[in-house]
Amino acid sequence: MKAIVYERYGSPDVLELKEVEKPTPKDNEVLVKVHAASANAADWHIMRGEPFLVRLMVGGLLKPKIKILGADIAGRVEAVGRNVKQFQPGDEVFGDISDCGWGGFAEYVCVSEDALVLKPASTTFEEAAAVPLAAVTALQGLRDKGQIQPGQKVLINGASGGVGTFAVQIAKSFGAEVTGVCSTRKLDMVRSIGADQVIDYTQEDFTKSGQRYDLILAANGYHPILDYKRALSPEGIYVCTGGSMAQIFQSMLLGPWMSMIGSKKMGNLAAKSNKKDLAFMKELLEAGKVVPVIDRRYPLSEVAEALRYLEEGHAQGKVVITVERNNKT
Ligand SMILES: NC(=O)c1ccc[n+]([C@@H]2O[C@H](COP(=O)([O-])OP(=O)(O)OC[C@H]3O[C@@H](n4cnc5c(N)ncnc54)[C@H](OP(=O)(O)O)[C@@H]3O)[C@@H](O)[C@H]2O)c1
């Protein structure tokens, strides 16, 4: 089978399209013919081995242990191991396979059945592949850490990216009044996915407007943590899922201390792939409450280009890899 393989950490130039052995499922595994995958910031961090901490997290201090990147997949079950209960050949599935060895940038991958959920019939493989990691991050940030409630004023900083476009739609589905922060060129798109208000961060700093929010999800960008705190209502919650290293470290190191003083809660989320949460996202897709925003599609042979583009940090929604050309649902 064809796969995008890398043997050393570095720029997208280290990625090569190679012919490798097609995997065989173990007893508890499912062999999936990948129709589409999607790219996440985690792919390029692990490709570069930067920050160094990711090498400790995924293994491979000097050389990558994971040889084929790609966490998000959608495809068709081709074969199942003898202990697999939930799927059979022909099923259309999607999932985040980062907990079972990665490998989505390939024609086939073997994964635990626990990583997969049946794909909604009305969702294309490309749309489904866009969902798992980014949407589950947004869901866990808003619902679990952020304790989102109907009627709350919720602000998403970085509303136009992979996580942000899901966060806006998920927050709306919970009945919140949503403000999306993005740059000028993306205001219309963020409005079109349901944001009640949009703020152009090139024109206005929302932390200085005097407006207060019950929940702020920082999906991207940077503001000092004290500025986020100021923009919260008295019982407000701030959840950082991404953005600059300074933003992430401030939320991790200072957030817990700041939460001890007063009634505002400040913190960080490291999302965990979770089948129940993906099944929850499946329901939102089926109900039409969430529609993945796809910015660009690249063929498997151009994963390096896809990651180069994503790494620039200006994607509008998700970047998808089309692995199987005949991609009808
Ligand atoms: N905590 C976790 O478990 C977890 C999970 C997934 C991702 N992440 C992290 O979350 C971050 C975002 O992920 P993603 O998939 O959404 O990335 P992404 O799709 O690459 O984000 C790109 C978007 O961010 C916007 N952006 C850039 N600078 C901004 C700023 N200063 N203010 C507001 N928006 C800005 C860009 O809009 P413009 O071009 O218009 O600026 C673009 O639309 C990354 O740092 C990633 O590593 C964390």
Summarize pLDDT for 278-300 with one digit per residue, the tens.
999 999 999 999 999 999 999 99
- Cβ(309) – ligand 1 distance below 6 Å: no
Task: Say what the pLDDT of residue 57 is.
Answer: 85
Q: What amino acid occupies position 136?
A: V
Please tell me whether residue 158 adopts helix, strand or coil conformation: coil
Residues of the chain short of pLDDT 70, as ranges, are 326-329
From the CA atom positions of the chain, what is the Rg in Å?
20
Task: Say what the pLDDT of residue 326 is.
Answer: 59
Nearest CA to ligand 1 atom 42: 314
- Cβ(38) – ligand 1 distance below 6 Å: no
Q: Which of 168, 161, 285 is nearest to 215 (CA)?
A: 168
CB 34 within 8 A of CB 65: no
Long-range contact set of residues 59-63: C-beta below 8 Å, sequence gap at least 24: 63/7, 63/8, 63/9
Element at 136 (helix H, strand E): helix 132-139
Could you report the per-residue pLDDT of 182-226, keeping only the tens digit for each? 999 999 999 999 999 999 999 999 999 999 999 999 999 999 999
- Cβ(243) – ligand 1 distance below 6 Å: yes
- Count CA atoms within 13 Å of residue 180 on its CB side: 29
CB 252 within 8 A of CB 192: no
Q: Is 162 exposed, middle or buried (0-12, 13-18, 19+ CB in 10 A)?
A: buried
Q: Which of 161, 184, 115 is nearest to 292 (CA)?
A: 161
d(CA 290, CA 191): 14
CA of 271, closest atom in ligand 1: 3
- Cβ(313) – ligand 1 distance below 6 Å: yes
d(CA 62, CA 96): 25
- Cβ(132) – ligand 1 distance below 6 Å: no
d(CA 307, CA 295): 13
Q: Which of 272, 322, 281 is nearest to 42 (CA)?
A: 272
- Count CA atoms within 13 Å of residue 310 on its CB side: 29
Q: Is 2 exposed, middle or buried (0-12, 13-18, 19+ CB in 10 A)?
A: middle
Task: Say what the pLDDT of residue 62 is.
Answer: 92
